Amino acid sequence: MRVLSDCRMKPSNPNTTSAFEPTNRRAPFSTQPPLLALSFSAHITVSLGLLNSKTSYQKPSHHGTMSKKKKEWRAEKERLLSLGVEDRRKDYRGNYVPLDKIPTWANHDNNTATEEEQKSFSLADKVSLYKGDITTLEVDAIVNAANSSLLGGGGVDGCIHRAAGHLLYEECHSLNGCDTGKAKITCGYDLPAKYVIHTVGPIARGNVGQSQRDDLESCYKYSLKLMKDNNLRSVAFPCISTGIYGFPNEPAAEIALKIAHDWIQSNQDEIDRVIFCVFLETDYEIYKRKMSDFFSPDNDDHKNEKDAGMEEGNTEPVEGGEEDDADKKDDKQDEEIMSQQDESTEDVTMQSQEPEGESPDAKSMDEETKPPEKGDATVEVSPTAKKKVEQESEKDTGKKEDKGEDPPVAGEEKGGSPEKKMQTGQPDEAGKQMEESTKSEDPGADTGQEPEVPMEVLEADQSVTTAKESNTSNSTKDGQGDKNPQE
Ligand SMILES: NC(=O)c1ccc[n+]([C@H]2O[C@H](COP(=O)([O-])OP(=O)(O)OC[C@H]3O[C@@H](n4cnc5c(N)ncnc54)[C@H](O)[C@@H]3O)[C@@H](O)[C@H]2O)c1
């Protein structure tokens, strides 16, 4: 939106349209003395004095709205990022999973390792495989598989935008889109995650060329670079590009694991946890099978130690030696952890998982605020979600007491933001407008289900990128992942 700053600025009287002004813009009422009535004859005459008088001019209301919106997300972002975790938890809209409830790939239930055992560190203590809804993870950042407009859409993108609230859209709008393979970072707003790293994966549509592979690798590299640039220590990745964009699941998983492994190996002190957050059973099986190829106690560090040991004349690994027993024990524990995790995350997944192939957007309100199943220790219920459940159950028992509305969540308009209304299954006019505006801004906007998106939609997605490349000056914020991630 262009804000005029020249002689075409508006007269203060909102009922006149200047001969110079596009007729769809109006100025707010002036606080100045009553204005000269302008004669409406065959042509509208505008008193130049009004045009030039600085004292009577006020910014057009839409400009006021713009700067109000800017202040709104900036102020809310600053407020949220200054809060400690307990205070932030009061703002979460839905259920959340604390990081310490997400088992690492190799962690022991009760870590009673001695100083000596700690030395047998493996990268497997830095990664997790988690099956469930990424919007519930209480980590420093979750990664969004966005499209080049960054204005929301469907799939995980739609979920994240709905869970974060409308301020995420406002901040994304200020970022001027994002190119394929790059990444930009925003606040997480109503999400349990402090930040959202938006990355745009390649559109593969089933066939994977070198450029698609390079772009997908670049998504992980740029996202991890933004983590480091912003001193963030825990991140969760969805399976980027494997949904609507059609990148085959297995090659995508290998790229994700390889890039994450190499990056963690060179930045071990900069990161506490990288979580591969899968949503579909297909991906869960693939990652379960492949995690140990990249992250298991007998890779990297142990492998180097073993190699080192072999260099010192110990040419044959000792069969059944202490190390092998330790590895066997670790593998057995991995299996146990994974099976335990299966049960627990199964419950979590059941809460947030639509049957395969359907957009999670379709999940109903009660699934989002349903209290965790008994025995499902990994999901906490936020105060807001608890209240919703109470109201729901009261409704169910037919006790229609008027408890008034939820206390407004910070940053939400009175009566709840459009997304909140959508989440509470009350798609009102505002909610539909938000949905429409997202659709109108984003050719890739969600249709609710995850349809087979016609090529022209995806091409539109790409044309949006090329259009942006030609028009947009590189007005991204510092550290928005536009620099080469290799640096
Ligand atoms: N054009 C459309 O109608 C449409 C529809 C759906 C999704 N999208 C989105 O898809 C495009 C990007 O494609 P993509 O394949 O990279 O993304 P995607 O289609 O969202 O799929 C990426 C992966 O995320 C998984 N996923 C979905 N919801 C969640 C969740 N809540 N938590 C964790 N994982 C989840 C999904 O199962 C898949 O494995 C963007 O345009 C974005 O808006 C667009």
**395 pLDDT band (50/70/90 cuts)?**
low
Q: What is the pLDDT of residue 82?
A: 94
Q: Which residue has the higher pLDDT, 315 or 127?
A: 127
Name the residue at shortest CA distance from atom 14 of ligand 1.
241
Residue 100: count of CB within 10 angstroms of its CB: 9
Secondary structure class of 130 (helix, strand, coil):
strand
SS3 label, residue 66: helix
Query: Is the model's pLDDT at 409 over the cut of 50?
Result: no
Name the residue at shortest CA distance from atom 8 of ligand 1: 154
Average pLDDT over residues 204-218: 95
Average of per-residue pLDDT values in the chain = 67
What would the CATH number be for the domain defined by 72-108+123-292? 3.40.220.10
- 365/173: higher pLDDT: 173
15-34 pLDDT per residue, tens: 333 333 333 333 333 334 44
Pick from 80-84, 299-303, 320-324, 457-461 the range whose average pLDDT is largest: 80-84
Atom of ligand 1 nearest to the CA of 447: 3
Q: Is the CB of 458 under 6 A from ligand 1?
A: no
State the Cα–Cα distance between residues 457 and 29, nearest whole angstrom.
43
Mean pLDDT for the stretch of residues 454-467: 48
Task: Answer whether residue 130 shows pLDDT above 90.
Answer: yes
Quickly list H helices, 90-209.
Answer: 115-118, 155-164, 166-173
286 lines ligand 1 (CB under 6 A): no
CA of 145 to the centre of ligand 1 (A): 6
Centre of ligand 1 from the C-alpha of residue 181, in Å? 16
Instruction: Give the per-residue pLDDT at 468.
Output: 45
Axis-axis angle for helices 166-173, 429-441 (nearest 10):
30
The number of residues making up the chain comes to 487
3-state percent helix, strand, coil for the chain, nearest multiple of 5: 45, 10, 45
Residue nearest to atom 29 of ligand 1 (CA): 156
Residue 112 has pLDDT above 70, yes or no: no
Cα 208 to ligand 1 centre (Å) = 18
- How far is 462 from 180, CA to CA, in rounded Å? 9
Calculate how far, in angstroms, residue 185's C-alpha sits from the geometric centre of ligand 1.
18
159 lines ligand 1 (CB under 6 A): yes
C-beta of residue 204 within 8 angstroms of C-beta of residue 248:
yes
Q: Are 241 and 200 in contact (CB under 8 A)?
A: no
Residue in the structure block whose two tokens are 């550290």: 479
Question: If you measure from the C-alpha of residue 210 to the centroid of ligand 1, how many angstroms do you get, rounded to a whole number?
Answer: 22
Distance 267 CA to ligand 1 centre (A): 29
